[in-house]
Every structure is written in structure tokens, then in C-alpha cells.
Amino acid sequence: MFRYGFALLIATTATFGSAGAASDGRPFDGRWSVVIQTEKGDCDAAYRYGLSIQNGNVTYAGDDAFEVSGRVAHNGKVHVRVARGSTYADGRGRLSRDSGSGQWRGVGGGACSGRWFAERRG
């Protein structure tokens, strides 16, 4: 899978975040489920991951085999990178209070790309 870890990325439920933070001026903080779909390239058709947003920072609560870093702006614009060695995938898009979507593109190990869809889990 990691060929495009981003597919990776924007993932399914994590263990961080709290509903209280979302009501304290951080509207995107909490647990999110992300589905990544491949539209071009030789990567798996779809992935699901759990992510967490805390203070606008995107983290992954799963396997440490890859690094996830990202940030959500106050207006919901999001950028996330998932990396393992020299291979990485970037995802960009926008979140609303309870959902979001965008595009991702992988670099290294094959040229895959597609779309991602997210929904708040808590």
C-alpha cells in the first residue's frame, strides 16, 4: 500500500482530539475517518484511515511505518503529507465542520493520484 501512503493518509478514526476542543474555536479538532480513492496509477483502489486533528495539526494514530504531517487552517483548507523514506503523497482540500474532500498525488514508487473524502467521527 504505501506506494501511496496518502491514500494513506487522511485516515479513519484516531484516538486523539475531543469534542470540547471543537467548540473552543477549533472547529476541525477531533477524530476523522478518511477514504482515499485511486483514480490514476498502479495503487490499491481505496484505503480507509483514522486521523486526528488537534489544535489544527493532523496526526495519525496507527502504524509508525510512515510519517504523517499536516495542518488545517481556520477556514478549513488542509494540506497533509504522508512519507516513508523518499516516497510520499500529498493531499490537499477543504474540511467543513463534519466532512471534507480533496485530491492527493504520490511521488516516488509510481505515479498514483486520486481523491479523498473525510467525515468527522467525534
pLDDT digits (tens, 9 = 90+) for 49-62: 888 999 999 988 67
User: How many whole angstroms separate alpha carbon 101 and alpha carbon 13?
Assistant: 16
Percent of the chain with pLDDT over 70: 75
Q: What is the CATH number of the domain that holds 102?
A: 2.40.128.120
DSSP, residue by residue, 86-112:
TEEEEEEEEE-SSEEEEEEEEESSS--
- pTM of structure: 0.76
Alpha helices in the chain (DSSP H): 5-9, 19-23
Which residues form the domain of 31? 2-120
Return phi, psi of residue 95, to 5°. Answer: -110, 145
Q: How many domains does the chain have?
A: 1
More confidently predicted of 110 and 78: 78
